[in-house]
Structure 1
Amino acid sequence: MPDTPTSPPPSARPSADRAVDIARWLGLLAAVLQLSWLLESVVGSPLPSRTAYVSELMASDQPTAWLFRGADTVAGMALLTAVLLSWGVVRRWRRSTQRGERPSRLLGLAHLGLGVFGVAMVVDAVLTPMSCAPSIEVACAQAELTGQVPLTHQLHSLVSSLSAMGALVGLVSAAVWAWSRRRRATVHVGALVAVALGYVIVTVWVLLEMASATPGHELSGRIGLDVLGWSQRAGITLSALGLALVATLPTLRSDAGRTA
């Protein structure tokens, strides 16, 4: 369906603009906190960044787990709040139109994906952190293989997968939506599209590294570069950059309430 611009009543603009501004800052906060893994060398983490999961920084037996779990908790809450604020603006604009037009499906998918991303970050940090760090603890690695780790540790993989899927759906949908409205800020939108594409590629890379690093997997040791940790950190960096680009899209203020 073609793009159909609509305008909210003048009385609705100030509150909508404030909501969008708050969502922007919360999105930027989430993006910055996502990069907390950069502090691993500062706090003296013993984990090998080349091969260790980023989630191992939050493992219950790591002395600085509180720092990284706290950062992810705040990041997830900030992102979820930003998504709710942004979607609230879209909904208010929809109700203000006489034709009752529906928001773009891509816009809805972007909100849904990023919302799932935010919730999964909080759940992972608060409820399902890893119990130990398998990259440096032989007993932990063996316990993982035999299923002897706590339930929260086992659920961690599922929650992390939901987090990555949410980020993927959210960033790609936001990039395609922004590209379809690229009458302004072409460079900014182009950067978002490039980052989203990069995130897709890196996600595939991470999956290949995971398969290669998993004992007993048919692809174990046959693919990958033995850099699971680096690939994950690259993916997190791209998702943080993508969040920052989404949060600062110039089209947000003027187009958040448009429908398609």
Structure 2
Amino acid sequence: MAAQSFGYNFKGKKALVTGAGKGIGRATAKALVECGADVVALSRTESDLKTLKTECPGITTVCVDVADLQATREKLWSITPIDLLVNNAGVTSLQSFLEVTPEEYEKVMNVNHKAVLFLSQYVAKWMIDRGKGGAIVNVSSMASKVALKDHTSYCSSKAALDMLTKVMGVELGPHNIRVNAVNPTVVYTEMGRKAWSNPQKATPVLQRIPTGRFAEEEDVVKAILFLLSDSSSMINCETLLIDGGFCAN
């Protein structure tokens, strides 16, 4: 994806992308670099960061697990200030409601909701102190709005993330900090393929998507860039479905 295909200029902005080792996060980090941003890519997997650094030599990489709040906070001190934040790190767990364990529930909620809350809190306080505003995009899911079998913890975490997005936007808006979320359908990332590789599971969902396909990484990246940019300066507290019409059908 070339910079001119996006039409955005983030020169002079520092962007932090979590979960940047793979999938949507990696693609977003690379797109922001192409659009001129000074990008900090955060991942818990050192090997992924090494290959990303090879592909984008100018990128700054930070290896930390966002579920470890103290370690994350310590790492963030060295990279502030941040103008743009993309909370992309996420995990899933395929367990039916009757089989959900406390351990799996806590793992999913800690990464998908708790880590977003506190990492955003750290970054937003620095944004407020600088007085220059900023933009935050949380990567949520269609699963926040539609109940999916065997996704009890995941659906719950993303529904909580949507409401967190709205509360953040309400409280941070007066500081010229906008907060929005993108809510894609299944995206063909590594995690997406793992969860939806079975045709018996995928076909009924695809049949409800008017466009007839799952999302690609680029579909989500373009929406994230739009919400980070000044082109969306009056958009705040929104959850943007990228579902090909699934929820309308």
Task: Give me the TM-score of the superposition, normalised by structure 2.
Answer: 0.28
Q: Report which of the two has the higher share of strand.
A: 2
More relative contact order, 1 or 2 (CA 8 Å, 6+ apart): 1
Q: Report which of the two has the higher share of helix.
A: 1
Structure (1 or 2) with the larger CA radius of gyration? 1
